[in-house]
């Protein structure tokens, strides 16, 4: 799995965009071949850091769509190091990093 992260600064405001590759199964969908429920598998925590500063922490659930997209703004500068990390309900984790550009 992977996270693609982009961050661009304009006039002191940084726009962060992150695309996360994850199936985000609710646990309510049936497998067409077997008729059995597909086990729940979803991101339940997302954290975004700029260096040592936590910018965002989100608690998600099974209602978020597959391959979720996250976008937000913060006051920052070019050169900041942005790291996006998620953890899912099965203990899986992934992260992606980028440097803020102009």
**Whole-angstrom Cα distance, residue 45 to residue 100?**
23
Whole-prediction pTM: 0.90
Q: Judge whether 19 and 7 are in contact, CB under 8 Å.
A: no
Q: Is pLDDT above 80 for 1? A: no
Provide the pLDDT for residue 15. Answer: 98
38-52 pLDDT per residue, tens: 999 999 999 999 999
**Whole-angstrom Cα distance, residue 80 to residue 55?**
12
Q: Which CATH number fits domain 3-25+38-99: 3.10.20.30, 3.30.420.40, 2.60.40.10, 1.10.3720.10?
A: 2.60.40.10
**Whole-angstrom Cα distance, residue 98 to residue 82?**
5
Domain residue limits, the chain: 3-25+38-99
**Whole-angstrom Cα distance, residue 52 to residue 56?**
12
The residue-averaged pLDDT of 5-28 equals 96
Q: Where does the pLDDT of residue 2 fall: very low under 50, low under 70, confident under 90, or very high at 90 and above?
A: confident
């Amino acid at each position: 799995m992977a996270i693609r992260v982009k961050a661009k600064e304009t006039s002191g405001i940084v726009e962060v965009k992150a695309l996360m590759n994850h199936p985000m199964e609710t646990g309510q969908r049936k497998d067409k071949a077997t008729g059995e429920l597909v086990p729940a598998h979803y991101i339940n925590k997302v954290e975004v850091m700029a260096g040592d500063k936590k910018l965002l922490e989100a608690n998600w659930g099974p209602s978020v769509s597959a391959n979720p997209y996250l976008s937000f703004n913060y006051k920052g500068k070019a050169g900041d190091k942005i790291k996006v990390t998620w953890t899912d309900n099965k203990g899986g984790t992934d992260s992606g990093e980028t440097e803020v550009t102009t």
